[in-house]
Amino acid sequence: MNILEVKNLNIGFNMYDKLLNQKLYQMVFDLNVTIKKGEILAIAGSSGSGKSLMAHAILGILPKNTVVSAEIKFKNEIVDEDRLSQLRGKEITFVPQSIAYLDPLMTIEDQLMRKDINKQDFFKVMDTLGFTKADLGKYPFQLSGGMARRVLIANTILSKADLIIADEPTPGLSLDLAIEVLNHFRNMANDGRGILLISHDIDLVCNIADRMSIFYGGHILETLNTKDFLKGEKYIRHPLTKAFWKALPQNDFEETDIEDIRLQCKKLNLELPILE
């Protein structure tokens, strides 16, 4: 069963130019995303390409000057902004980039411990993520950036949501802890949840994702099985995806010039947006 279906997602912002004329600046173009029950879809690409905008649009949390058009289905039900607000935090949960989502006036334990959570499960999860009992009595401002990020991840692990949207969940974490966190996402998917995992760290997400969508300049250029991506160039269609594969550590971080990629795209009649 498809937990999430997004069709023809377009995102733009109403802004004023230097002459104070209002213009629509489009940032995301005709995106289509499907996530099945038990699946992790990784949205991979460089920072600033619009990946977070896509996540915020699906959650219905973009600012008022945003113009969004799309058909969004959650578990085969078409949902609008009102329905998304009902689902958000319950059946759909979010791991944001910013730790500002934490309540500065509540201790970590008070923020995370809910009536429906078994205390033993709670302390097991927090111990796995490296929290001591003393840490649980701290406020967000008393935590390091990496520890605050782990609080956001703990909230997701403890939730009963069917869809998890994680926006760059591993920056600020040690390699061992990042791998541990990603393994938690894999376990949640194995339990039947759907996970949209946004990351620029392709090497890490390849270990747990079922499929990958390569995101660039507000466009999804290619979606493929992660196993095919790891097999190499022969199984990859788009030149930019091939460049990402070449840049993996096992391929000696080989760099590819963007103009060479653009030339290859032109020969193959494939799209590569020009970034402004």
Domain boundaries defined on the chain: 2-91+161-224
Q: How far apart are CA 111 and CA 89, in angstroms?
A: 13
Ranges 9-23, 35-49, 186-200, most confident: 186-200
pLDDT in tens, 110-155: 999 988 888 998 999 999 888 999 999 999 999 888 888 889 989 9
Q: Using the predicted structure, report yes or no on whether residue 24 has a pLDDT greater than 90.
A: no
Q: What are phi and psi of 221, to 5 degrees?
A: -85, -30
162 and 141 Cβ atoms separated by less than 8 Å:
no
C-alpha torsion sign, points 142, 147, 149, 155: negative
Q: How far apart are CA 154 and CA 184, in angstroms?
A: 10
Going by pLDDT thresholds of 50, 70 and 90, the confidence category of residue 276 is: low
Question: From the centroid of its chain, how far is CA 82?
Answer: 22
Going by pLDDT thresholds of 50, 70 and 90, the confidence category of residue 36 is: very high
Q: What are phi and psi of 98, to 5 degrees?
A: -90, 135
- Say if domain 2-91+161-224 classifies as CATH 3.30.470.30: no
Query: If you average pLDDT over residues 195-222, what whole number do you get?
Result: 94
- State percent of the chain over pLDDT 70: 100
Residues in contact with 194: Cβ distance below 8 Å, sequence separation at least 6, in sequence order: 3, 4, 35, 36, 37, 38, 39, 41, 162, 163, 164
b/e 62-90 (16+ beta carbons within 10 angstroms → b): beeeeebebebebbeeebeeeebeebbee
Query: If you average pLDDT over residues 194-211, what whole number do you get?
Result: 94
Q: Using the predicted structure, report yes or no on whether residue 74 has a pLDDT greater than 90.
A: yes
User: What was the pLDDT predicted at 171?
Assistant: 83
Q: Using the predicted structure, report yes or no on whether residue 220 has a pLDDT greater than 70.
A: yes
Q: Using the predicted structure, report yes or no on whether residue 51 has a pLDDT greater than 80.
A: yes
User: What was the pLDDT predicted at 21?
Assistant: 82
Average pLDDT, the chain: 91
Q: How far apart are CA 165 and CA 63, in angstroms?
A: 18
Query: If you average pLDDT over residues 156-176, what whole number do you get?
Result: 89
Residue type at 160 in one-letter notation: K
pLDDT in tens, 76-104: 999 998 999 999 989 999 998 888 888 99
